[in-house]
Amino acid sequence: MIRLEKIGKRYDLGEVEVAALTDVSLRIERGEYISVMGPSGSGKSTFMHIVGLLDVPSEGSYFLEDVEITQLPDKEQARIRNRHFGFIFQSFNLFSELSAIENVMLPMGYAGMGRGDRRKRAAELLEQVDLSDRAYHLPTMMSGGEQQRVAIARSLALKPDLILADEPTGNLPSDRGAEIMAILEGLNQEGVTIVMVTHDDDLGRRARRCIRVRDGRVAQDGGERDGGAAA
């Protein structure tokens, strides 16, 4: 599905240059469930932003289904991002003035779906994350776990092939985190590719493949579990 070749990301801060990612080459196959782990500042979020086409690499090539994405115009990259990728972040990034259902409807509006269809699909998605009874709540009226489930429902709005989750359980107590994991793992069983950053060793080990990042480099890829992980 995705192939990265010698991807690097540098930030030029005038006096100093920060190498957030260096020489990252790997493949992500359709249907994989991957965890990304590593110390704070090691480049995990940078990696997720680049894979998600939210940020451009300073060097290297990014292929999606053998098409080199980095060569495509921004508009085309944005279209791919909206149609094929779903994002879940540590802080839920919900619009505080919109209700749960309106937040979920938002990406469908950008994609040009009619209002009736948007509302119907959003209601189905909220049911999928067990929040039908919170559809008209504002984010401030919901718990952290509920807000994260709204964010998941929203990320599923356009049926993504790939979900990029950056510490999706980071702000949640462990029982709430387990609910989020169960939703993500259920999606993976339905064939959605999942890449998830986590600080939690137990959660990280649930993934079939664990990528360990250190100082902006891939220090280890797979091989964490008994019998070895699929690479």
Ligand X SMILES: Nc1ncnc2c1ncn2[C@@H]1O[C@H](COP(=O)(O)OP(=O)(O)OP(=O)(O)O)[C@@H](O)[C@H]1O
- The number of residues that bind Mg ion (CB under 5 A) is 1
Q: Which of 35, 45, 148, 169 binds Mg ion (CB under 5 A)?
A: 45
4 versus 131: smaller Cβ distance to Mg ion = 4
CA distance 87 to 13: 28
Closest CB 18 distance from ligand X, rounded Å: 4
Pairing of strands 85-88, 217-221: unpaired
Binding partner selected for residue 42 from ligand X, Mg ion, none, CB under the kind-specific 5 to 8 Å limit: ligand X
Rule CB under 5 A: say whether 46 interacts with Mg ion: no
The reply on whether position 155 binds ligand X by CB under 6 A is: no
Torsion over CA: 107, 192, 145, 203 (sign): negative
Q: Is 193 in the site for Mg ion (CB under 5 A)?
A: no
* Nearer CB in complex with ligand X: 44/212: 44
Q: What does 20 bind: ligand X, Mg ion, none (CB cut-off 5 to 8 Å by kind)? A: ligand X
| Residue 147 in the binding site for Mg ion (CB under 5 A) | no
CB 149, CB 161: distance < 8 Å: no
- Nearest approach, Cβ of residue 185 and Mg ion (Å): 22
| Contact pattern from residue 8 through residue 27 relative to ligand X, giving x for each residue in contact according to CB under 6 A and a dash for the rest | ---x-x----x-x-------
User: How many Å is the Cα radius of gyration of the chain?
Assistant: 18
Binders of ligand X in range 35-74 (CB under 6 A): 38, 40-46
* Stretch in the footprint of Mg ion (CB under 5 A) among 37-45, 57-65, 93-101, 203-211: 37-45
Burial tier of 208 (Cβ tally within 10 Å: 0-12, 13-18, 19+): middle
Contacts with ligand X by CB under 6 A lie at: 11, 13, 18, 20, 38, 40-46
Contacts with Mg ion by CB under 5 A lie at: 45
